[in-house]
Chains A and B, each alone.
Chain A
Amino acid sequence: MKFVLPAVAATAALVAPTLAEARQVTFETALKRYGGNGAYVVLYVTDAAGAYKGTLWMAGGKAKYYRHLSDWQRASGGRATEIDGITGASIGSGKTLKITLDLADAMIDAGYKVHVDTSVEDGMDNPSEVVVPLAATASGKPFAGKGYVKSLTVTF
């Protein structure tokens, strides 16, 4: 089963102001069969200098567990406004999270990177367990994570 979110509002900073300058980008995060409770998964973007630019999606609804997504927590400050309206349920073992959104053209091939932090109750915290560049060369290629992520595929 896939979680398909056809049109998603990411943090305002990332979303293209008009559709003319935008490109539809799909982020598909497939989890391993780790056999535990649902994983908290957060996708966020850093720029060429490594600075946090915004969050794409937070899978997991309880704020008290966000500190286990430590890279995201540190980069974003963990503020509720960062994930307002882009929060969903945690992702079960072996399931896939698929989100689609319109990103500004200027963000492609400009050194931006998508990070994924994951965490599972009684398991591992995996800050930035997979980092994929927002680059044409990486489009459609699966990148393996070192923790619970089997693959992250960014397609545009």
Chain B
Amino acid sequence: MLRRLHGLPGVVLALGLTVVAVTGAVLSLQPALDRATAPMVPAGTSVAGLAAQVAARHPGISAIRQRPDGSLTVAFDDGDARGVERVDPATGTGLGPYQVSETTRVITSLHRSFLAGDAGRAAAGLGALAMLALSVSGTLLLARRLGGAGALLRPIRGTPAQRWHGELGRLAVAGLVLSSLTGLWMSAGTFGFIPEAQGITSPVTASGGAPAPVGTLAALRSAPLAELRELSFPDPADPTDVFTLRTAAGETRIDAATGAALAFAPATTLEQINDLVRTLHTGRGAWLLGLLLGLASAAVPVLGATGIMLWARRRAARPRVAANAPARGADTVILVGSEGNSTWGFAGTLHAALTAAGHRVHIAAMNDVGTAHLAADRLLILTATYGEGYAPASAKSFLSRLARLPGRLPGRPPVAVLGFGDRNFPHFCRFAQEVADALETKGCPRLLPMKRVDRRSSQEFAQWGQDLGAVLGHDLTLSHVAEPPKTVPLMLAGRELYGEAVGTPVAILRFEAPRDPRTGAPGRLPSFEAGDLVGIVPPGDTMPRFYSLASSTRDGVLEICVRLREGGLCSTFLHALAPGGAINAFIRENPAFRPTEGRTPLILIGAGAGIGPLAGFVRANAAGRPMHLYWGGRSAASDFLYEHELAQHLAERRLTSLKTAFSRDVEGGAYVQDRIAADAPRLRELLKQGAQILVCGGRDMAEAVTRALEPVVRPLGLDLATLKSCGRYVEDVY
């Protein structure tokens, strides 16, 4: 619902809102420029003083006004000359004619009414309402995505368009809400929904005496010039007419002969609100606020463009399922829980592969679940998890619908649940787990144990396909790439091989950007940090494999550690690559797996090739922040990756301590988790100082580390889940 409110209307309104926002941003510069150029009103000057100075030059003044930007103007009709002139507030001398430039006037009209009169004014008012709705719904969507209102400031993950949209949106939202609320108020005023102040309504008659010089009038002498809004002069042809003085305090009628205040109407609360709203909206009289609001408005075109990109991408990701079998009579039913449609893409691939294998397959959104679906031979559920473990859009009502189905499901089909999520979130695939549990409670047997797919991993999806094929008794090849990435070519510049002697060959590979073929200039690496991922597409394949980066762009090389896996297409390719050989690669940011800012200690834990990003963190630690590395290999003699570099880092204090464990060493082999358990008191001390733990390596190692760490942290009143949720325990696990 929220997404529907935010998405399509945003796309439709993007152009109009861009016009209002860009013109608003341009206008926001005016108050700052005015402040820089308009002379200041000196303290202690009275309205009478200035009026007398101006009256000495102009016999026929009709009004003196202080504009909201602080400049003073006088409208005069001296018979031979008439016009509006700017006036120096200190001396009353003329500063040339007051003229709003044609450009400013057109931009203002565009901003207020799209140059289309009252219809345009109404459209601009509705635009303000729409901006308000988009700001609020966008904030709610972002909060939901990041895991609740308290998480709004967390780093935003995703594609560049998603990040720009989210980052700019949350920076600008306060300004946009203020601008649209005040704009709405002003629009309501324009259309008469907010009553206008009446001022003095009772007739006021002058004494009729001969007019005294304006500088001598008592009521004007006591009015400070700084508070002046407008002083209109009496009609010289009408002896009963009076001065009307308007200030922030209210409206006063003043006798031209006696200088006495004949009537006073104080400014109403509503008028004061109107003034405040006008100041907040235009920034006139509050130039700094004006500039900030202008900056927020300037974000609107970018928000519009990225929003349209995101919307189009979501639409494009919606699968066009060919030959969807009817629910009745289908042997296999696929139910999909998707927020941004990417899970639909995986489901579409699964549908096609199963259909090709001869199944009658029906695919539907999880929200549509009904008894017909549960009469199939098997039920396959593919679902994402949204934010802090919530159901995604197309599965919002699944659990409640399932609960309302009859206690005993008609067929109780065997179920396989495949969860999609991001391992960096504390509630990785929690909704998928809830679905699996709910179906188990309903008595559905398990076709396959629930599996989790991390960050749309094509490999994990393909692996699950093999498992499913094995259960179904036929081959099932699922080849799905979520978004074909744009790759850049890189060249192998150097390699070091370790671990051959112990049967686990691990290569440290360093790549460089190829030189420009024409100029021979050094190529440019894409932008990345240690801990980010590089996706490499092996030749003859479409599915990228991901490796954690051991270097950052600043190092001038792209460095990874690759363990040779038996039958592994990509690792075999990389290990066979000769210097000068080329790969196609792309970067996927991994901002969750990064040291926190500051100088609190870091505990780095890894095994095997998992040392890559950890070594990268150490290498970048020129500031000498306390870093403690725990690493496990097989043999000190054979696969001690980065041995010499780490020794140098220790000497240079980039690395504070190093504990290694080698499982195959003759004298009492040990694993990294053993070192952790043995070091419990020291680790507790570091955690008390606020240390962050970063773990990189295989899944088995990570689980063993978790088991070893739980008893370490428990005496501190902590647990890993808590540390995880506040980013003090992060993993990069494969």
User: Which chain A residues have a beta carbon within 8 Å of chain B's beta carbons?
Assistant: 35-37, 61-64, 67, 70-71, 74, 89, 122-125, 127, 146-147
Q: Chain B: interface secondary structure?
A: mixed
Interface bits B109-127 vs A (CB < 8 Å: 1, else 0): 1000000011000000000
Complex Cα distance, B719 from A29, in Å, reads 83
Complex Cα distance, B109 from A36, in Å, reads 10
Pairwise interchain contact B190-A37, C-beta atoms closer than 8 A: no
Q: Does B235 contact A (CB under 8 A)?
A: yes
CB distance from B722 to the nearest CB of A (A): 59
Q: A36-B105, A146-B77 are in contact. Are A89 and B241 (CB under 8 A)?
A: no
Query: In the assembled complex, which residues on chain A have CB atoms less than 8 Å from the CB atom of B196?
Result: 63-64
Q: A36-B105, A63-B196, A74-B241 are in contact. Are A127 and B98 (CB under 8 A)?
A: no
Query: In the assembled complex, which residues on chain B have CB atoms less than 8 Å from the CB atom of A71?
Result: 235
A-B contact pairs, 19 of them (CB 8 A): A36-B105, A37-B105, A37-B109, A62-B190, A63-B196, A67-B199, A74-B241, A122-B84, A123-B84, A124-B62, A124-B83, A124-B84, A125-B63, A125-B75, A127-B62, A127-B235, A146-B77, A146-B82, A147-B82
Pairwise interchain contact A89-B117, C-beta atoms closer than 8 A: yes
Query: In the assembled complex, which residues on chain B have CB atoms less than 8 Å from the CB atom of A74?
Result: 235, 238, 241
Given contacts A70-B62, A124-B82, A125-B63, 20 further A-B contacts (CB under 8 A): A36-B100, A37-B105, A37-B109, A61-B118, A62-B192, A63-B192, A63-B196, A70-B232, A71-B235, A74-B235, A89-B118, A123-B84, A124-B62, A124-B75, A125-B62, A125-B75, A127-B62, A127-B235, A146-B82, A147-B82
Q: Does B483 contact A (CB under 8 A)?
A: no
Complex Cα distance, B84 from A62, in Å, reads 23
CB distance from B128 to the nearest CB of A (A): 18
Q: Does B102 contact A (CB under 8 A)?
A: yes
Give chain B interface residues in 440-473, CB to chain A under 8 Å. none
Complex Cα distance, B63 from A36, in Å, reads 19
List the 3 closest pairs (A to B, CB-CB), nearest first.
A122-B100, A64-B196, A124-B75
Complex Cα distance, B241 from A125, in Å, reads 17
Q: Name the residue of chain B whose CB is nearest to the CB of A36.
A: B105
CB distance from A139 to the nearest CB of B (A): 27
Number of interface residues, chain B, beta carbon within 8 A: 23
Query: In the assembled complex, which residues on chain B have CB atoms less than 8 Å from the CB atom of A35?
Result: 102
Query: In the assembled complex, which residues on chain B have CB atoms less than 8 Å from the CB atom of A70?
Result: 62, 232, 235
Query: In the assembled complex, which residues on chain B have CB atoms less than 8 Å from the CB atom of A89?
Result: 117-118
Q: Name the residue of chain A whose CB is nearest to the CB of B237.
A: A128
Give chain B interface residues in 361-413, CB to chain A under 8 Å. none
Interface bits B505-544 vs A (CB < 8 Å: 1, else 0): 0000000000000000000000000000000000000000
Q: Name the residue of chain A whose CB is nearest to the CB of B196.
A: A64
Query: In the assembled complex, which residues on chain A have CB atoms less than 8 Å from the CB atom of B232?
Result: 70
Complex Cα distance, B118 from A97, in Å, reads 18
Complex Cα distance, B235 from A71, in Å, reads 9
Complex Cα distance, B75 from A64, in Å, reads 19
Complex Cα distance, B618 from A52, in Å, reads 90
CB distance from A45 to the nearest CB of B (A): 18
CB distance from A83 to the nearest CB of B (A): 14
Query: In the assembled complex, which residues on chain A have CB atoms less than 8 Å from the CB atom of B83?
Result: 124
Q: Name the residue of chain B whose CB is nearest to the CB of A67.
A: B199
CB distance from B270 to the nearest CB of A (A): 12
Query: In the assembled complex, which residues on chain B have CB atoms less than 8 Å from the CB atom of A36?
Result: 100, 105
Complex Cα distance, B192 from A146, in Å, reads 32
Query: In the assembled complex, which residues on chain A have CB atoms less than 8 Å from the CB atom of B84?
Result: 122-124
Complex Cα distance, B75 from A21, in Å, reads 44
Query: In the assembled complex, which residues on chain A have CB atoms less than 8 Å from the CB atom of B235?
Result: 70-71, 74, 127
Q: Name the residue of chain B whose CB is nearest to the CB of A66.
A: B196
Interface centre among A61, A124, A127 (most CB of B within 10 A): A124
CB distance from B223 to the nearest CB of A (A): 19
Query: In the assembled complex, which residues on chain A have CB atoms less than 8 Å from the CB atom of B77?
Result: 146
CB distance from A68 to the nearest CB of B (A): 9
Complex Cα distance, B83 from A74, in Å, reads 22
Complex Cα distance, B105 from A122, in Å, reads 10
Q: Name the residue of chain A whose CB is nearest to the CB of B238.
A: A74
CB distance from B274 to the nearest CB of A (A): 10
Complex Cα distance, B84 from A127, in Å, reads 15
CB distance from B195 to the nearest CB of A (A): 10
Pairwise interchain contact B98-A122, C-beta atoms closer than 8 A: yes
Query: In the assembled complex, which residues on chain A have CB atoms less than 8 Å from the CB atom of B190?
Result: 62
Complex Cα distance, B102 from A71, in Å, reads 29
Query: In the assembled complex, which residues on chain B have CB atoms less than 8 Å from the CB atom of A147?
Result: 82
Complex Cα distance, B75 from A83, in Å, reads 27
Query: In the assembled complex, which residues on chain A have CB atoms less than 8 Å from the CB atom of B63?
Result: 125
Query: In the assembled complex, which residues on chain A have CB atoms less than 8 Å from the CB atom of B199?
Result: 67
Complex Cα distance, B241 from A147, in Å, reads 22
Complex Cα distance, B235 from A127, in Å, reads 9
Q: Name the residue of chain A whose CB is nearest to the CB of B241.
A: A74
CB distance from A150 to the nearest CB of B (A): 15
Interface bits B89-117 vs A (CB < 8 Å: 1, else 0): 00000000010101001000100000001
Interface bits B218-242 vs A (CB < 8 Å: 1, else 0): 0000000000000010010010010
Complex Cα distance, B189 from A62, in Å, reads 10
Complex Cα distance, B690 from A115, in Å, reads 82
Complex Cα distance, B241 from A122, in Å, reads 24
Query: In the assembled complex, which residues on chain B have CB atoms less than 8 Å from the CB atom of A64?
Result: 189, 196
Complex Cα distance, B232 from A70, in Å, reads 10
Complex Cα distance, B118 from A81, in Å, reads 22
Give chain B interface residues in 174-193, CB to chain A under 8 Å. 189-190, 192
Query: In the assembled complex, which residues on chain B have CB atoms less than 8 Å from the CB atom of A124?
Result: 62, 75, 82-84
CB distance from B275 to the nearest CB of A (A): 13
CB distance from A57 to the nearest CB of B (A): 18
Interface centre among B62, B98, B102 (most CB of A within 10 A): B62
CB distance from A71 to the nearest CB of B (A): 7
Complex Cα distance, B189 from A61, in Å, reads 13
Q: Name the residue of chain A whose CB is nearest to the CB of B112.
A: A37
Complex Cα distance, B62 from A147, in Å, reads 13
Complex Cα distance, B189 from A67, in Å, reads 17
Complex Cα distance, B235 from A124, in Å, reads 15
Query: In the assembled complex, which residues on chain B have CB atoms less than 8 Å from the CB atom of A127?
Result: 62, 235
Complex Cα distance, B75 from A147, in Å, reads 12
CB distance from A116 to the nearest CB of B (A): 15
Complex Cα distance, B237 from A71, in Å, reads 11
Query: In the assembled complex, which residues on chain A have CB atoms less than 8 Å from the CB atom of B102?
Result: 35
Complex Cα distance, B63 from A65, in Å, reads 15
Q: Name the residue of chain B whose CB is nearest to the CB of A89.
A: B117
CB distance from B477 to the nearest CB of A (A): 69
Interface centre among B77, B196, B199 (most CB of A within 10 A): B77
Interface bits B185-221 vs A (CB < 8 Å: 1, else 0): 0000110100010010000000000000000000000
Query: In the assembled complex, which residues on chain A have CB atoms less than 8 Å from the CB atom of B82?
Result: 124, 146-147
Query: In the assembled complex, which residues on chain A have CB atoms less than 8 Å from the CB atom of B105?
Result: 36-37, 122
Complex Cα distance, B84 from A124, in Å, reads 7
Q: Name the residue of chain B whose CB is nearest to the CB of A71.
A: B235
Complex Cα distance, B62 from A70, in Å, reads 10
Complex Cα distance, B621 from A35, in Å, reads 64
Complex Cα distance, B232 from A122, in Å, reads 15
CB distance from A88 to the nearest CB of B (A): 11
Complex Cα distance, B238 from A71, in Å, reads 10
Query: In the assembled complex, which residues on chain A have CB atoms less than 8 Å from the CB atom of B62?
Result: 70, 124-125, 127
CB distance from B550 to the nearest CB of A (A): 64
Complex Cα distance, B109 from A70, in Å, reads 25
Complex Cα distance, B192 from A99, in Å, reads 26
Give chain B interface residues in 229-287, CB to chain A under 8 Å. 232, 235, 238, 241
Complex Cα distance, B84 from A35, in Å, reads 14
